[in-house]
Chains A and B, each alone.
Chain A
Amino acid sequence: MTLIAETELQSFVLLRLGDRRFALAANQIAELVPPSRIFRFPHHTSEVEGVILRRGRIVPVCDVAEKLIGKVLKSRRFYLIAQRCYGAQTEWVALPVLPVTGDCELINAEMTLPSDTDAPHVSGWLSHAGDVIEVLNLASLTPGSSELASATAPLQPLEARP
């Protein structure tokens, strides 16, 4: 019995947006990085604020706070670097967050699957420390189409050719 219960537990990272906490599957998370310089250039994808430079990679910053809590985070922000799937490809995206304080950044919990009435950005629910926490579906929260991936250049940095 214990063995079955343990295999159903999954690891999640909690993030704080405003007064609310949300969760992402830990296997989607690359790292939490301190406030970094954001580079902006003209584009028409309103959900993307700009890009940050991290370990030689250029990572788009997708502010999900407005969709989730109805306001943009203005205070000193950290970035949670997560993997976003585009069809068969994955790319990093940076989500501005307020760092979770306390001892529960990484938790093991059992996820309840979403119901038909849940918003598309909810991939499940966790019960943790008296809170019910939404597990986020990045594909629904961040821009970009899954079909796009097959029609575009590969994910890895391209070497410039003369």
Chain B
Amino acid sequence: MTIPRDPSVPFNISLVGVGGQGTLLTSDILALAAMHAGFDVKKSEIHGMSQRGGSVISQVRFGARVFSPIIPDGQSDVLVSFERTEALRWVHLAKPAAKILVNNMERIPVTVSSGLQPPAADMDRRLAARPGLRLLDANPLAEQAGNIRTANVVLVGALSTLVPFDESHWQTAMRERIPPRFLDVNLRAFDLGRAAVQ
């Protein structure tokens, strides 16, 4: 079910994760698909430290006309998180009625593993309490597709069911952005993610 929307305001998607999880590839595919679907689009990301295990955020907005590249807090129609702690860290970006897709995996920050900070308390309860939040076991699905590193594209597949683009636009975007030798495994990951939420 794609999310109903007012065509005069942009559709807002925030994607969050940990450096190295493929957040930026995912937002590239989403933004290209939006372009092929005929929308004005802006994709904004902060990635100076992205490869060093820091928290990473990317935002994509599409519509008839998009001005600000930054989505106001509390205005994301969809939040995609590649990790459980990051989902909670950024949940205030989402509208109260937003759909939230979370890869059900956890990466412990070095601040916790080194004992400097306590881990997040009560994570299971807090995630379960959030309306519209769906935990998805993307890592096993990615392994099933043939490569654990395609977990991000599993989430793109799940996301595709919430966004008003024809499937052909997603296919075109993936062909443009993913090197040919990795394309098949990513297309399988996309299909598995799409099927998992339908």
Q: A and B: real partners?
A: no
The chain A residues found within 8 Å of chain B, CB to CB, are none
